[in-house]
Amino acid sequence: MRKFLMKIIECINPYLAKNGGPIILAQIENEYNGNDQAYVDWYGTLVTNEFSSTEIPWIMCNDHATNSTIETCNSCNCLDDDWIDRHLHDYPNKLMLFTENESWFQTWGLAVAIRTTTDFAYSVAEWFAGDGSYHSSYMWHGGNNYGRTAASGITTMYSDDALLHADGTPNEPKYTQLSRLQHLITNYAQV
């Protein structure tokens, strides 16, 4: 794994913020559901020692973090599952980052997952009202898996309920309403 990560760092190096690129943040582990703290600490050591030259913050999600990483929320609503309160208690000096506010993939045989515009917008507004620092919509743009690239049981259509449909057309009224909310937050954000 270390060798693979070193190759990734080599590939993204020109795109890091310190080199004038757009990469300002990276995730070292996603949705690790195990309880091997030594594994989590190993990632923290990599970030602190071998990846410190990237000069970017490193994040982890699903209740795992080290002193050198930032734990992020990965949910549809971080307040409902007490993530905000727990994070403020466990990491009072670390930013609150919301990395996956989910639209979702489609599985064969199940109804299409639809998330209302109201629910999505409320979770974003509630996040920033609760002192959140960063929010990412996962996914912003629906898509398609081509060939045999989809996971087992997943259709080729991906997250068509996102702000942009898989064909690139706006998913109204979600697209317009959430765009307005983002502009509103941006206008009043203190940087």
Q: How confident is the model at residue 139 (pLDDT cuts 50, 70, 90)?
A: confident
Closest among 64, 66, 134, 129 to 98, alpha carbons compared: 134
pLDDT for residue 113 = 76
> What is the tens place of the pLDDT at every residue in 147-169?
777 777 788 877 778 888 888 89
Q: Report, as an integer, the average pLDDT of 37-59.
A: 90
Closest among 47, 36, 39 to 9, alpha carbons compared: 47
Map tokens 């009043």 to a residue.
Answer: 188
Q: What is the dihedral of CA 95, 59, 61, 152, to 10 degrees?
A: 150
Percent of residues, the chain, with pLDDT higher than 90? 26
pLDDT for residue 171 = 92
Strand pairing class (26-29; 134-138): unpaired
The CA radius of gyration of the chain, in Å to the nearest whole number, is 18
Closest among 98, 131, 125, 103 to 116, alpha carbons compared: 103
In whole angstroms, what is the distance from residue 80 CA to residue 72 CA? 15
pLDDT for residue 61 = 83
Cα angle: 155, vertex 160, 165; to 5 degrees = 135
pLDDT at 191 over 80: no
Percent of residues, the chain, with pLDDT higher than 70? 98
pLDDT for residue 12 = 96
pLDDT at 115 over 80: yes
Just list the catalytic residues: 31, 100
- H helices, E strands: number in the chain: 5, 8
Whole-prediction pTM value?
0.78
pLDDT for residue 11 = 97
Under 8 Å between Cβ of 59 and 72: yes
Instruction: Calculate the average pLDDT of the chain.
Output: 86
